[in-house]
Structures are given as structure tokens and as C-alpha cells.
Structure 1
Amino acid sequence: MRIDSHHHFIDYSEAEYPWIDDNHAAIRRSFFPEELKSVLDTHNMDGSVVVQARESLQETKWLIQLADQNDWIKGVVGWVDLCADDIEQQLQELVQLSPKFKGVRHVLQGESDDRFMLREDFRRGISKLAPLGLTYDILIFEKHLPYAIELVKQFPTTAFVIDHIAKPVIKEQSFAKWNEDIRKIAEYPNVCCKVSGMVTEAHWGQWKAADFAPYLEAVYAAFGADRLMFGSDWPVCTLSGTYSEVYQLVDTFIAQLPAEDQSKIMGETCVKFYGL
């Protein structure tokens, strides 16, 4: 099964999506399932996993509703306040709402405290995921990787996946420290990585395929195909490249790999990780 492991839907309003500022004017509109479905069909993708774009329980329930209405949306990674006193109850309600609710994500990259993920109340919330069969998507910048390593070390039974290869500053070809830390976090077998979100870390609309080669080679060396999954990051990716361009970047890289590894990266790893 070929799966896009990471995309978003947007029911746009200025109040609900404050992060879509003037720099993101190209995506200052709504993006719904029917638009993505046509793109997925063009690239022979069998389905997808939709990921939260707002820190809102309302959005999480909306994404679950969309998934239940569209068979090809195989899973939902939503938002819930992991620091809430009643976090276990909230998670249980979402699990009962739909079997397509697969995991949780918090916008850690947006927190003013780089160590937010190591707060006691946040870690308490993380501890409630594995018993319910839920995963956690780690959304960070490369500077957060040392703290992410500390987090995953404390929860060996929780399935983690790093979004967007931890957002190295590709436009500056920042590599050495990121590579060192990505190798360290890959030492933990409960951690996977999404080959996604790279074009928006490069010079928007001005990048070339060679810009990404060292990063793709590094995550493949660190995680192997068993723990790598393709994600488009649509529609955010369109700020810097089309879905086809993002797809082609990964497809060209994996073309040199064994067929078995290609199948894993383009879907099988995602299916296994999220239990699709």
C-alpha cells in the first residue's frame, strides 16, 4: 500500500490559523479532501494520514469526521492538550470516536521554551499514549533534537516519528550538528522519521534536487527503510514546490534503493507505524 504519511486539511479563517501570515499568503485559503484526492490519484497513492494544523480539539474531531467520510484517509494525527489534568479521558474519548484516530502531535517548534517537551505535565501526557495504542509525531527544529533524544529515551514503549527530518536549515546547508543528533535519536528503535517538509526549509522555489541529497542519504543511513516514510506536507509544501516536485525528490532518491526498501518508504513503514 502506497501512503502519503503527512498532509493537512485547512478550513481557513484568519483567527483560526494565525501562523498563515503574509509569508504564507499562497496557502491562505481552504484545502479539503477532494483537492488532495485528485493529486494522490495522479501519483498512484492508495491513501494518506492527515495531521493537525491547529492546536484545537475541534479540529481534531473535524479531521476524524473527514477520515470517516473518506476511506482513503487511513489515519488521523490530531492535537489534544497533553498537559491537561484529564488527558487520559480526552484520549479515550477520541479513540472511541473512531479507529482512525492514530496519534497526537503538539507544535513543539512554536513553544518559547525549547525544553517544553521535557516538562513534567507534558511527559505525563506522553505516558498515556502507548497504553491506548497511540503514536506521537515530533514537530521540532534541529535545535530541539537534544531534548527530543531525552524525551524518547524516557518512553521506550511509545512509538515516535520525527516530522520533516527535524527541519535542518537546508537553505544554509546546515548539516554537521543535525546529522550528529539525527544519528543519536535514530539509535532508539521506537523512533521513525518522515521524509517530508524539506522544500520549505530550503530557498522557497529556488532550490535544486542536489540541495537535499546529503539529508536524504543521512536519514537513510540512520534509520533505514524500516523506519522511514514519505510525506508530502501538502499544502504547506506548495509554498516552495508542487506536490509532484516533492514526490519526485523522494522518488528519484529511492530509485537507487532495493525495491523492498522503496515499498517500505512509500507506504509500508507508515502502515506498520500507525497500524493502518
Structure 2
Amino acid sequence: MTYEKTTHIHTNLEWLGKLTEEILDPDLPIIDPHHHLWDRLGPYYTKELLADLTSGHNVRASVFIQCRYGYRTDGPEEMKPVGETDFVVGIAEEAAALRPDIAACAGIVAHADLRLGAAVQPVLDAHAEAAKGRLRGVRHYSASGGDRFSGAVPNSPLRMLYTEEFRAGFAHLAPAGLSYDGWLYHPQIPDFTDLARAFPDTTMVLDHLGGPLGIGPYRGRGDEVFAEWKGYVTDLAKCPNAHMKLGGLAMDINGFDLHKEPLPPSSGECARLWRPYIETAIELFGADRCMFESNFPVDKGAVAYPVVWNAFKRIASGASAEEKAKLFHDTAAKVYRI
């Protein structure tokens, strides 16, 4: 059995700067529904976020997704993630003062340990208070390579989404008006599907196309992985409460290794690699349940912000104007109430 340890790719601005592209369809409105804020791969705070959001595409708003950053250092353990929400609100307010025309971090998807069961409610309430009207959902990621590989995020317990305590906490989301973002690897998509069926009134969002793997025992098995992934997402698409984020395929775990090339990838090259997954997801879920995402700064280790959106626009070039509006803006606006 192959064991492989990976890590997020550090941002190399000099390398990314070796390729520039003309912005395609620059007037198309965009909501970027998935980005982080941290300094793990190089700083990515107000300055860096606004530089990307204003780099040529018509990005109107963005949604911050939890990334285990800015936690409180004291107080009850379950309340420490509320520090991340405090931190993001500060970034949002700073960005609004600099660029009031862009709603940066208009929505926040926070972390709460759903395994707390009923005891998660005070944590949700604390996030809501700290978010100042921006709280939209919760992400308690469940990605796990088990004993097969180690990804850039710590392994979660396998089959966590089936446990009684997790589902007891999960049951508090819909009554609070909160959605759920799921981050896992493609063999775990059936876990997400079972959860979506068990909670049909909860809006569910599967991040990064369900994490198709290209590392460890999956390296070099692209056709097999795609077939397995397609079977899983075909089943998930039958759940009307399930939505799909289209992106996150430049990460280390996907195995495309774009960051190892002498030059950064063009939007045409990215479109060629990502098209099978993205087009399949759109065909299965429809444009009204799909949204393009940047996953920055994680994907910034392999591709520049203008290029990633150009790639999405190339893939969606055959879509109608109505479908493009949904894929790039309206679905995100609906799900995250922007």
C-alpha cells in the first residue's frame, strides 16, 4: 500500500508572475463563495484578498470559509473557533473601508464542533453574535485519508458523519438558518450523501467537487478515480438540498502537480484538466445547484486568481447567459444569502 504525505503549496508570486492573461468576459458578475484568510502559505489578509478580488474579473462579493485560523487562546475549548469569526469580521470591515464597492467576506462559514450535540447551540450563538450579521453556515470538515495517505489537513475520524453525536449537533443548523459545507475526499462522498438524505431541510454544500484524489494509492489512476467519483456524485445529485462547489482542483491532493512545472499553468491548461469533473457536476446538479469557487489562497500555490476564473469561463463558454449568471453569481447569492 502506498503512503504519501502532502502539504498545501506555498504561494510563489515570482513564479505566478511569469504568466499573465487577458481577462475573459470581464463584465460577468462573480461572487467568490470560497476563500480563506491566514498566513500559512504567505500572508493572505486584507491587502492580498483585495488585490485578487480586484485583479480584473468583476467580483462583487466573497464568502469566507473556516480554516482553523485566529482561534482564541483561552476560554472553553469549544468556544475557541469563535476567535476566527472575530478576526474575519475585522478583515471585512477593513476591506469595506478600502473598497466599499466590493462586499468582501459578506458571508462567513464558521467552524463549530458538531460532535458536541445539543451543547453546540451556545457556540452557534456566539458565532452569530461575533459575525455581526455575516454568519451563513458551518463547516466541520471530515476529510480523512485513514492509513492510506496524509493530506495537508489533519485526518478526521473515518465515518464521523454517521455518528449519533455529530448528527445531534448537525440537527441544530437548519433551525438556526445555517447551511453546512462539507470538506472530504471522494471515497467519503457517500457519507455526505447519507447525511443529506437524513437532513433534507438543511442546505448542504460539497466543497471542491468532493475532493477527487490523485495521491497515495490513487496516484496515476485518474480514469478509475473519475469513474468512482462520478458514481458517487450521481447518487448525491438526487438529493435536492445538495449543492456543489466547482473548484479546488489545484490542491496537492488532486495530484495534477501544476506547481512543479517551469511555468504556471494557463487557463486553457487548467480548463483541459478540470473540465471532465466540472462539466459532469453541472450536468448532474444543474446550474442552480453549482457555483464556481477560487479556494484561495490554497489554490494560489498553483494558479493565479485571474487565470483560475478565466479557466472557469472557458469551461462554461457553451452555457447560456442564465446558466452563467447562476454558476458565477446567483447560486452563491442564494445559498449564502448575499
Question: Which of the numbers 162, 177, 192 marks the counterpart of 2:243?
Answer: 192
1:163 maps onto 2:207 in alignment: yes
**Which residue is equivalent to 2:304?**
242
Per-residue CA distance 1:251-276 (angstroms, 9 max, x = gap): 10111100111011111100000111
Structure 2 distance, partners of 1:64, 1:102, is 13
**Which residue is equivalent to 1:47?**
61
Whether contact under 8 Å (1:203, 1:240) holds in the other structure is: no
Question: Which of the numbers 91, 106, 109 marks the counterpart of 1:77?
Answer: 109
* The structure with more radius of gyration: 2
**Which residue is equivalent to 1:104?**
138
Instruction: Give the structure with the larger helix fraction.
Output: 1
Structure 2 distance, partners of 1:31, 1:108, is 24
Structure 1 gaps of 5+ residues are: 13-26
Identity of aligned residues (%): 30
Cα distance, 1:203 vs. partner? 1.8
Structure 2 distance, partners of 1:255, 1:130, is 35
Whether contact under 8 Å (1:204, 1:241) holds in the other structure is: no
Q: Which moved more, 1:130-139 or 1:30-39?
A: 30-39
Question: Which of the numbers 47, 60, 64 marks the counterpart of 2:89?
Answer: 64
Q: Which moved more, 1:126-135 or 1:205-214?
A: 205-214
Whether contact under 8 Å (1:199, 1:246) holds in the other structure is: no
Whether contact under 8 Å (2:50, 2:95) holds in the other structure is: no
For residue 138 of structure 2, give the secondary structure of its aligned residue in structure 1: strand
Structure 1 distance, partners of 2:85, 2:162, is 24
Structure 2 distance, partners of 1:220, 1:112, is 28
Scaled by the length of structure 2, what TM-score is found? 0.73
Q: How many residues align?
A: 261
User: Which structure is higher in RCO with an 8 Å CA cutoff and minimum separation 6?
Assistant: 2
Structure 2 distance, partners of 1:245, 1:51, is 21
For residue 83 of structure 1, give the secondary structure of its aligned residue in structure 2: helix
Q: Which moved more, 1:231-240 or 1:168-177?
A: 168-177
Structure 1 distance, partners of 2:129, 2:45, is 24
Cα distance, 1:69 vs. partner? 4.1
Q: Which moved more, 1:55-64 or 1:179-188?
A: 55-64
Structure 2 distance, partners of 1:263, 1:243, is 19
Structure 1 distance, partners of 2:134, 2:203, is 16
Q: Give the aligned CA root-mean-square deviation in angstroms.
A: 1.8
Scaled by the length of structure 1, what TM-score is found? 0.89
Cα distance, 1:214 vs. partner? 1.1
